[in-house]
Structure 1
């Protein structure tokens, strides 16, 4: 799932996904805790909550979209509203070592960008809890872009926006389909399965020392 760049040529910029790379995003875990696994499974079978979230990530309004789905599904109204009203509890905790890697790269003058499927209002809300979300050198947030990964258009927009050649970008994401779409455009990629592997990849690319990646 990883694509390694040209030997001896460091990437010019590093791109981080956010959900499950910098912040855990596990809605099912939240609902299992709140309503029990059996009810959670029934609700997720009855309502396509991930597609509801995709609509927000494409730029639809966070509150209006979720509340409309809740009102259209009265048997699950209160539970669906939790997706909005208790949203920060779905997007927690921070993956602390990943944040340290981001900051270590920036401390060495390496540009760090985000590329995330995230809504406009939900991102602004998240940033009040997680200030590092305002620290990227460039933000590529799907809600503002009107398209979500793994659509090829979003990667084209990143390339145009940052001006870095695809082969000089390195991107980590927790979803294989998002990585594959980037690799198809010539990006260097790393399937995120934990910060340890990502740290090792950044060392292997010559971007950080072992000590800096610790």
Structure 2
């Protein structure tokens, strides 16, 4: 991977090492049981990335703390907001394509619509050709969506990890976490989450994950206002 002396690069390295850790848990299984759905493929990477960024926050002060929070929020904004626009765009393309061919002008219009739907008036400049520069649209349908699921699922698990650590039950969490990663090719996300007492159909779980991001926004506003 490309690397420079920045938290963004360190976070990316931690993210990829999370994938390696996930693959290590799958390594001793038969090949057919190592296949992981996209919705779960980002679980360990998000978890590992969050550990590194929160560790940096523990000692950061002043402008450095602002920098760490900004790095976190820029990543979250891309996954929660920008990827949602990609999902809306791709969904609209399939719906329109059922009625006929689409030309570049049609794709531009759909992309601008998706960005307005997602960003509102937060963007001063829209990007009509985003569909042409993002390789994620080509190869696998709705490739973008699992990143949002993975981020929120990973943050929800991290919140449980913090609770377990505070209660002195970190080893128990570690064992269950490793078992979850080893089983991503053998059970659905719904079934695996249930082993942690998580109901993926319950809005409260997803709100809890979003609350992690909301607290980061509040912290960022607090530091920037000083």
TM-score of the superposed pair, with normalisation by structure 1: 0.30
Structure of larger gyration radius: 2
- The structure carrying a bigger strand percent of its residues is 1
Instruction: Select the structure that is richer in helix.
Output: 2
TM-score, length-scaled by structure 2: 0.29
